[in-house]
A = this chain, B = another copy of it.
Amino acid sequence: MITVVKVGGKIIDNEDELKTFIQLFTSLKGDKILVHGGGKKASEISKRLGIVPQMNDGRRITDGPTLEVVTMVYGGLINKTIVSLLQAENVNAIGLSGADANVIQSHKREGHTIEYGFVGDIDKVNTNALYKLLKAEFVPVICPITHDKKGQLLNTNADTIAAQLAGALAKEQDVHLIYCFELKGVLKDVNDENSILSKLNESEVSKLHREGIIKDGMIPKLKNGFDALKRGVSNVSIRHMSELNKSSAGTQLIL
């Protein structure tokens, strides 16, 4: 069994939260892969560098200067910080972008009415390389940068990477996917942190979205989660990091 854990930006942004997460991830048994998001650091660095963020419908356009920043921040600062913290806990972490060991190959998103810039849609997860690393007892720590195998780095959503990576591995092994975030799960009432929806299927999500109970930001994450289930991942949940090691917690997605 392989556990794929996605940890989000809000945990990474907070040094204490990150350290707590590292402890929890360390105690997770068995083969595991960590996928991390970006957080506010890239925006902060962009701002300090005088790069004006180009947004379109709430989406950041990854222009050339922004790609440089996310490559630096996600692939350098955040990835190496997480790896060194894990190594301090004797987790033999190895940080990877999609280019490293050709782990995740993508192509530049094109042919849309919206210009996304240097954003990569995943073509292929190289499970062979991941299995080699796991077999050698390394713990892959993956940042949300991919490549097109033609020398171009691309920015890819970390939730999507986690889902497609888990889905690809599920062809050969039992895979669990955990989206770790700052809440206890998907909430029925945003003002009551204990109103966790313990199970959710796609039609319930559509209904709750229409009723305004599940907000836009959560929709792509849930979509990725259902996508992973359809690709054969046996267990997909969205939970608070403190429940990372529980066999069942937070919101479990079901088909």
The answer to whether A80 and B149 have CB atoms under 8 Å apart is no
Q: Is A208 on the interface with B (CB-CB < 8 A)?
A: no
Q: Is A238 on the interface with B (CB-CB < 8 A)?
A: no
Q: Is A71 on the interface with B (CB-CB < 8 A)?
A: yes
> In the bound complex, how far is the Cα of B136 from the Cα of A95, in angstroms?
16
Encode contact with B along A87-107: 1 for CB under 8 Å, 0 otherwise.
Answer: 110001111110111100000
Q: Name the one of B81, B93, B96, B150 contacting A153, with C-beta atoms under 8 angstroms.
A: B81
Encode contact with B along A172-202: 1 for CB under 8 Å, 0 otherwise.
Answer: 0000000000000000000000000000000
Q: Name the one of B50, B94, B99, B151 contacting A101, with C-beta atoms under 8 angstroms.
A: B94
> In the bound complex, how far is the Cα of B46 from the Cα of A49, in angstroms?
9
Instruction: Given A45-B49, A96-B94, A132-B136, check contact A80 B150 (CB 8 Å).
Output: no
Q: What count of chain A residues pass the 8 Å CB interface test?
A: 42
> In the bound complex, how far is the Cα of B73 from the Cα of A163, in angstroms?
29
Indicate the member of A80, A81, A149 with the most B CB atoms within 10 Å.
A80
Q: Is A72 on the interface with B (CB-CB < 8 A)?
A: yes
Encode contact with B along A38-75: 1 for CB under 8 Å, 0 otherwise.
Answer: 00000001001110000000000000000010011111
Q: Is A152 on the interface with B (CB-CB < 8 A)?
A: yes
Q: Name the one of B76, B83, B99, B129 contacting A73, with C-beta atoms under 8 angstroms.
A: B76
Instruction: Given A76-B73, A77-B71, check contact A83 B95 (CB 8 Å).
Output: no
The answer to whether A84 and B99 have CB atoms under 8 Å apart is yes
Q: Is A85 on the interface with B (CB-CB < 8 A)?
A: yes
Q: A85 contacts which chain B residues (CB < 8 A)?
A: 151
Q: A147 contacts which chain B residues (CB < 8 A)?
A: 84, 87
A119 to B: closest C-beta gap in Å: 15
Q: A80 contacts which chain B residues (CB < 8 A)?
A: 71, 75-76, 97, 99-100, 145, 153
Q: Is A79 on the interface with B (CB-CB < 8 A)?
A: yes
Nearest B residue (CB) for A89 = B151
The answer to whether A138 and B76 have CB atoms under 8 Å apart is no
The answer to whether B101 and A138 have CB atoms under 8 Å apart is yes
- Can you add 15 more A-B contacts, CB < 8 Å, to A93-B100, A136-B136? A45-B49, A45-B72, A48-B50, A71-B77, A71-B81, A80-B99, A81-B153, A84-B152, A87-B99, A88-B151, A93-B99, A94-B101, A95-B97, A101-B138, A132-B136
